[in-house]
Amino acid sequence: MSRRRRQSPFDVLLEMVVYIIYSLIYVLMRLIMFLFDVITFYTSKYKVKSGHKLLSTLFDKGHYGEFKLYKKLLRKFHKDQVLTNLYLDSQNTEKTEVDMVAVTKKGIYVFEMKNYGGYIYGSYKDEYWTQVLNRFSKNTFYNPFRQNYAHTKAIEDYLELEQSRITPVVVFSNRSKLSKVDSGDKYLFQLNDLHKFIKSQYKKKPDIFTDDEVISMILKLEKATLASDEVKAKHIEDIEELIKTE
């Protein structure tokens, strides 16, 4: 039976040095990413559009997921084309909150962002989906396609458009595993795949809006952003009541 060679003091010191260097590189990279997020938060109009504060955006999982989606969309769209936190009239509640909308000449894209990790199970037909982090942690959540349908319908009614001109898209974090999801013919992507989807849309879809129409819709949608605290509180109450009655 062979014995493991005893490390010399030099080997131990070398491992410590390597570990410290890698740790410093990791911390430096995280610091650079943090600074980039801070700069983007202020220069991209996200602070004004979302109404969120910096710390609540960077350290709240849901808010940070929306912020990551916003940054991804800015790689394809101008920042004035992307709107967040829209409060619109809804069929089921007095108001519904739409996470993010991109207004383009190809159509309007309504995004629902889920910053979830783990394995995701569900079908577009189901009322609820399941998130499994490990064998001890399992959570259910409302079908995001159904959730986004209400948002799409609200946009459709508010802008007085045909449903065919609006495209609902559900986006999950890159930390999620979507192999057990049946999305049917609906659009479901992880964040990393979103750019490829948008690029394909621009290649195959003709323009359906003029520049003037895009500007007009953006100006109208901007009126529905930055709702007052009273409206937001009422929206939360309506959602809670709706869940109780289901």
- Which one-letter amino acid corresponds to residue 153? K
Distance CA(108)–CA(119), nearest Å, equals 30
Contact present, 209 and 69 (Cβ < 8 Å): no
Contact present, 42 and 70 (Cβ < 8 Å): no
Residues in CB range of 161: below 8 A, 6 or more apart: 108, 155
pLDDT tens for the chain, 246 residues long, are 456 667 777 777 888 888 899 999 999 998 999 999 999 999 988 888 888 899 989 999 999 999 999 999 999 998 889 999 898 877 666 678 898 999 999 999 999 999 999 999 999 999 999 999 988 889 999 999 999 999 999 999 999 999 999 999 999 999 999 999 999 999 999 999 999 999 999 888 999 999 999 999 998 998 888 656 666 566 566 655 654 554
